Amino acid sequence: MIGIIIGFYGFAQMLLRILLGVLSDKINKRKIFVVIGILLGLLSTTGLWLFDYVLMVLILRSLTGAAVASWVTYTVTVLFSDYSRMESLPRLLVLYY
């Protein structure tokens, strides 16, 4: 059962990571994905602290995977703002050329 629970964590990430990245690029609103990811992380962590039923742990661990999948929007937002500073411009050019 432990393997299934860990597998659902990875499975949720696998399904949602690329989908969330593409969707956030398409609608060009990353803040909503960041907020949803934080709320899912809070919900899953609180639930894992409160419940010890196997089915609840499975569901909440899947929510944790969904929360981690939303980190793709964090990374894009943070890296883009870091690379767009003037002192980071040479590093940006090296990465793209």
Domains: count for the chain: 1
Residue 88 reports pLDDT greater than 70: no
Average pLDDT, the chain: 81
Please state whether 28 falls in left (phi above 0), alpha (psi between -120 and 50) or beta.
left
Domain hosting residue 21, numbered range? 2-96
Residue type, 88: S
* pLDDT winner (highest mean) among 15-19, 59-63, 71-75, 77-81: 59-63
- Give pLDDT, residue 21: 79
- Give pLDDT, residue 56: 94
Half-sphere exposure of 72 (CA within 13 A, CB side): 17
